[in-house]
């Protein structure tokens, strides 16, 4: 192959063209067009989008409606649940306590919370504060989330601290990433004990107030004026419908914050400025060294080998996913609760931040993913990949497959002779060591099941086949219906019960498969 000799002028022109391609400018009008098109493709009631660039706010706008019941428009001040995007606020709160000398990142959790337990003595004695917020505990995905999913259970922080000893690890300590919510609740408890105020009060007074995030709250109950609060919506059962807004229990450190894109723009700018804020960036919420600690990979994750973005690394920091795209560091997180899905993305090399809030599950995830990726591709100078169309098609196909799988189960149930079931052999009380008691009983002429500690988990037991029953819970805000699989003793009487979700796409927080229920009565 021959090399091509270029003059200095031509070489300079090529450099300029390359720079412009990689760092292309995107206008607010273009973002507006992208979001409006996405709203036409996804079944989402409303969303809000903010983009900050080069130290200022490029775009900040609401789309669609806060509620399909009122048809009131979303604006940049409309509050949404940001769910797990709250986790980065929890790690920022820890960083503040580190700088005040009240804790160190490597402190053992038991030194601050003596009643903290884990599944073996070594892990319990060596578990430190960083371990709380990096998803490397050895516990499986979403382990124990049934203590607060669905809402309304009576589990307390004391229950949570005691129950870790009963969980079975799925990997060796500090060797594998598995997403966890409960340990963030422990981090929230630690913040409360070391600061002398609740986690909610701490983030509101020490983070929201200094940044001027005047319409952001640590919990749903702290919102006194709900006039500009979005309702939660779901499309999981077909047509879009309003569902109850999820209220965090125990504390909000894993996902309790309600905010809006106007306030979150200040959070994006704080992060891009490495903890500095205020006029002329003359104030500092946390130091550069602690900023670097939060943006350092603590748990290595698999890299998605996508040649379009030429990614090389992936991992989890302190409340942030960390990776690279096209030679640029990417810092991000998503959040999901029933009816509320959100995304935060930061590109420090591009001095760029994006936040997208939606009020509808599941289509909100397709919307925020496709919108953000379309915007980013424009900054990269890449050709239009039709992300919005591709995500819309994928989600429609995925829902169709899920619907077909669950429909097949319920058709099988309908074809079974339910009257022929020997109900007496299943009636009784079964207990799991951490989740507590589940009761099987007769409700009128129907075999029924209910959790003693999580009231929304109750519903009819319908024979599916052999000793397996299908449960349609009273709780229908998410697709969480489950199989109940009984074991029998030598006399043909049920002596145990295990469970798993019916839907192949059940949310990981419905960790029914982690239960091991034994008959106690």
Among 13-22, 105-114, 167-176, which is the least confidently predicted range?
A: 13-22
> What does the alpha-carbon distance between residue 248 and residue 237 come to, in Å, rounded to a whole number?
23
The pLDDT value recorded for residue 403 is: 87
Could you tell me if 503 and 471 are in contact, meaning their C-beta atoms sit under 8 angstroms apart? no
For the domain spanning 418-519, the CATH number is 2.40.128.50
Number of residues that this document lists for the chain: 521
pLDDT digits (tens, 9 = 90+) for 418-456: 999 999 999 999 999 999 999 999 999 999 999 999 999
pLDDT recorded at residue 450: 98
SS3 492: coil
Segment 465-490 mean pLDDT = 96
Give the predicted TM-score (pTM) of the model. 0.94
Give Cα separations from 185 to 137, 155, 192 (angstroms): 14, 12, 11
For 320-356, give the DSSP string. Answer: -EEEEETTEEEEEEEEEETTEEEEEEEEGGGTEEEEE
pLDDT band of residue 18 (cuts 50, 70, 90) is very low
3-state DSSP assignment of residue 268 = helix
Nearest to 350 by CA among 53, 85, 120: 53
Does position 12 have pLDDT exceeding 80, yes or no? no
**Mean of all residue pLDDT scores within the chain:** 94
Share of the chain above pLDDT 70, in %: 96
Write down the pLDDT at residue 23. Answer: 57
The correct answer on CATH 3.40.50.300 for the domain covering 24-384 is no
Domain boundaries defined on the chain: 24-384, 418-519
3-state SS, residue 34: helix
């Amino acid at each position: 192959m021959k090399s091509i000799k270029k003059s200095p002028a031509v070489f300079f022109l090529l450099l300029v063209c390359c720079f412009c391609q990689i760092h292309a400018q995107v206008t607010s009008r273009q973002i507006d067009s992208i979001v409006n098109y996405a709203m036409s493709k996804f079944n989402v009631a409303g969303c809000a989008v903010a983009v900050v660039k080069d130290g200022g706010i490029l775009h900040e706008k609401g789309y669609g409606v806060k509620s399909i019941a009122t048809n009131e428009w979303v604006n940049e001040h409309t509050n949404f649940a940001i769910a797990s995007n709250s986790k980065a606020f929890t790690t920022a709160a820890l960083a503040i306590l580190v700088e005040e000398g009240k804790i160190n990142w490597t402190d053992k959790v038991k030194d601050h919370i003596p009643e903290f337990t884990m599944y073996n003595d070594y892990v319990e004695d060596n578990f430190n504060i960083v371990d709380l917020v990096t998803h490397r505990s050895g516990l499986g995905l979403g382990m124990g989330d049934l203590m607060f999913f669905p809402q309304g259970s009576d589990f307390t922080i004391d229950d949570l601290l005691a129950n870790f000893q009963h969980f079975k690890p799925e990997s060796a300590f500090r060797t594998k990433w598995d997403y966890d919510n409960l340990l963030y609740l422990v981090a929230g408890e630690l913040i409360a004990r070391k600061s002398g105020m609740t986690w909610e009060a701490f983030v509101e007074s020490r983070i929201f107030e200094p940044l001027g995030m005047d319409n952001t709250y640590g919990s749903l109950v702290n919102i006194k004026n709900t006039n500009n609060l979005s309702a939660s919506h779901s499309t999981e059962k077909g047509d879009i419908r309003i569902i109850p807004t999820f209220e965090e229990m125990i504390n909000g450190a894993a996902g309790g914050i309600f905010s809006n894109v106007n306030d979150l723009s200040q959070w994006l700018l704080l992060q891009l400025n490495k903890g500095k804020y205020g006029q002329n960036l003359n104030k500092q919420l946390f130091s550069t060294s602690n900023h670097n600690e939060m943006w350092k990979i603590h748990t290595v994750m698999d890299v998605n080998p996508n040649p379009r973005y030429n990614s090389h690394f992936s991992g989890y920091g302190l409340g942030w996913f960390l990776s690279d795209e096209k030679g640029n560091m990417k810092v991000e997180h998503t959040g999901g609760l029933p009816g509320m899905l959100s995304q935060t993305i930061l590109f420090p090399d591009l001095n760029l931040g994006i936040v997208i809030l939606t009020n509808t599950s599941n289509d909100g995830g397709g919307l925020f993913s496709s919108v953000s990726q379309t915007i980013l591709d424009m900054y990269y100078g890449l050709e239009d990949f039709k992300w919005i169309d591709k995500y819309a098609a994928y989600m429609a196909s995925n829902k169709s497959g899920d619907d077909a799988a669950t429909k097949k189960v319920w058709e099988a149930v309908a074809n079974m002779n339910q009257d022929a079931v020997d109900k007496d052999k299943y009636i009784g009380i079964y207990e799991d060591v951490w989740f507590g008691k589940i009761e099987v009983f007769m409700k009128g002429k129907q075999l029924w099941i209910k959790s003693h500690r999580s009231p929304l988990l109750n519903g009819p037991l319908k024979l599916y086949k052999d000793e397996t029953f299908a449960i349609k819970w009273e709780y229908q805000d998410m697709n969480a219906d489950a199989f109940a699989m009984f074991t029998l003793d030598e006399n043909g009487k049920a002596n145990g019960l295990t469970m798993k979700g019916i839907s192949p796409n059940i949310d990981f927080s419905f960790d029914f498969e982690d239960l091991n229920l034994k008959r106690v009565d």
